[in-house]
Structure 1
Amino acid sequence: MQENKVVDRTQVQVEAILFDKDGTLLDFTGMWGFWTDCVLNDFREQLFIRGLEMDEADLPKIWGTFHDEQGRMNGYDVRGPLAMGTMDEVYAVLTWHGYRAGLSWAEAKMIVRACLAQAEEAMEVHRPAHPLPGVREFLEQSRNQGLKMGVVTADETASAVKHLQWMGLDAYFDVIIGTDLVDRGKPFPDMLLLACERLSVQAQQVMVIGDTDGDMEMARAAGAGYKIGIGESGKIQLADRTIQTFHELLSGGLGR
């Protein structure tokens, strides 16, 4: 076997690639921006009905998101809760803001769950999941070269499978691991180690591609062979290499 050209200077023999989902395989702002707008608009309406309101200045502080003048999400903090947290953590943060606005904790929990349910219904209708540039080509190239592939995501497994199906990408993956399948999600190594077990590979034979330092820390803690961050240079501190798009890996090749 030839060494992988993407990681040739590390002398790593890559047998499998594990991908984060949101912000790595799919456009994070496109999908989670839609979801965030649905949830927060409904949440603010529920507060208004009860004579309460949320300070608009608090919007970016809730989940680590950026918003335009109309309040629509148009970006996110790769270090924030929405980018790195589990869905239960995301729910808890919004519940806390409902409590801060004047709701009882119990009422805040019920309202948040109702808002989330409505957002999920809207997601099913619009299916706002779109692959990032070069993703499909890179997956096809990797599959043709016999590399095993999996997804390790902070999302729930069933949701992850559904989002990949929406994009027609699910068939590329030998394993899909959501945070609900392990005791500890990212940045702990549990998901990566479970994926390695199911793929019958060693962690040092795995390349991890993700868009946050939570992904990179998971890879480091598990002893992964190589870590690639996708996104703006300098924002993912723990990556061995940072790329802007998958086209950079396609041009470099994954020779075996």
Structure 2
Amino acid sequence: MTKSGENAGHGRIKGVLFDKDGTLFDYHGTWGPILSEVAAALAGERISLVPEMLASIGYRAETGRFEAGSIAAAGDTFALADAWRAILGIRDREGLVARLDGYFAELGPERSIPVTDLRAYFRAMKGRGLTLGIATNDVAASAAGTILRFGISDYIDFAAGYDSGHGAKPGPGMALAFCAASGLAPADIAVVGDNMHDLEMGRGAGAGLLVGVLTGTSAAADLAPLADHVIADITLLPALLDQSKSR
């Protein structure tokens, strides 16, 4: 799906900033099991609380999926911790955040299910002369571990998590930091993500191209209000960039 928008098709994209979960990795296949396991670990003997914990962050039992824009889909660890503190009766917010980030840094790289062969994909994207980055509302340690596990360190020029000092999405900080690190103007970058928070980050930073993908929690209709293009997955991005150049 393509939208004739202010940013669409100008053909000068020099860098691409990708969201991580739901964009590079299948969201439901990766994070459904992880969040269920972490909720059970925190609940301990109060295992009956797990359904309520998952529902509080956007899980819908009737569909087996997390809702678009929910805490699980778009929030950071602080938002998740606040939702679960209320249910578990935990007062120590910082302690719970640290515990959650520890789980995610361990389980994220180990359990992530890529949407394609990421090493081959990023090698090809780098071969186009593009500057490449990853911006996630996950903890930075999880992003770093995932980059290492999938062998894409040589191709990634920038990576940031919610705790990297640039702020969390939907704020523009991570996109602006990518531009600062790469020397690119915001108008020269594309932001690719599965959630409105990703696109809002890109719009706030003034990114030249906003691309939504359908490998996460959002439907095309969810992304259409902000996205210049909505594609099935990242494997279609090279053709989209070629199409933009030809206009």
Q: TM-score range by the shorter chain?
A: 0.7 to 0.9
Residue 246 of structure 1 aligns with which residue? 234
The alignment partner of 1:209 has SS state of strand
Deviation string 1:63-114 (CA, Å, 9 cap, x unpaired) is 112347xxxx942222011111111221221111213xxxx635x986x569
Residue 87 of structure 1 aligns with which residue? 77
Tell me the CA shift for residue 210 of structure 1: 0.5
Which residues of structure 1 form unaligned runs of 5+? 1-6
Residue 233 of structure 1 aligns with which residue? 220
1:206 is the counterpart of 2:189: yes
Counterparts in 2 of 1:8 and 1:254: CA distance versus 1, 3 Å = farther
Q: Higher relative CO (CA 8 A, sep ≥ 6), structure 1 or 2?
A: 2
Which residues of structure 2 form unaligned runs of 5+? 1-5
Q: Distance in 1 between matches of 2:29 and 2:170?
A: 24
Task: Answer yes or no: is the 8 Å Cα contact 1:152–1:176 preserved in 2.
Answer: yes
Residue 105 of structure 1 aligns with which residue? 91
- Identity of aligned pairs, percent? 24
Counterparts in 2 of 1:252 and 1:44: CA distance versus 1, 3 Å = same
Task: Answer yes or no: is the 8 Å Cα contact 1:19–1:151 preserved in 2.
Answer: yes
Please give the residue correspondences for 1:106-121 in structure 2 after superposition, counting only pairs within 5 Å: 106=92, 112=96, 116=100, 119=103
Tell me the CA shift for residue 134 of structure 1: 6.2
Tell me the CA shift for residue 8 of structure 1: 9.8
Counterparts in 2 of 1:147 and 1:213: CA distance versus 1, 3 Å = same
Counterparts in 2 of 1:208 and 1:8: CA distance versus 1, 3 Å = closer
Write the letter of the residue equivalent to 1:105: R
Number of equivalenced pairs = 234
The alignment partner of 1:158 has SS state of helix
Task: Answer yes or no: is the 8 Å Cα contact 1:138–1:249 preserved in 2.
Answer: no
TM-score normalised to the size of structure 2? 0.81
Residue 3 of structure 1 aligns with which residue? none
Task: Answer yes or no: is the 8 Å Cα contact 2:8–2:209 preserved in 1.
Answer: no
Counterparts in 2 of 1:20 and 1:64: CA distance versus 1, 3 Å = same
Q: Distance in 1 between matches of 2:150 and 2:67?
A: 24
Residue 17 of structure 1 aligns with which residue? 16
Write the letter of the residue equivalent to 2:242: L
Residue 3 of structure 2 aligns with which residue? none
Q: Distance in 1 between matches of 2:59 and 2:64?
A: 8
Q: Distance in 2 between matches of 1:92 and 1:20?
A: 23
Bigger-Rg structure (1/2): 1
Task: Answer yes or no: is the 8 Å Cα contact 1:134–1:247 preserved in 2.
Answer: no
TM-score normalised to the size of structure 1? 0.79
Tell me the CA shift for residue 47 of structure 1: 2.5
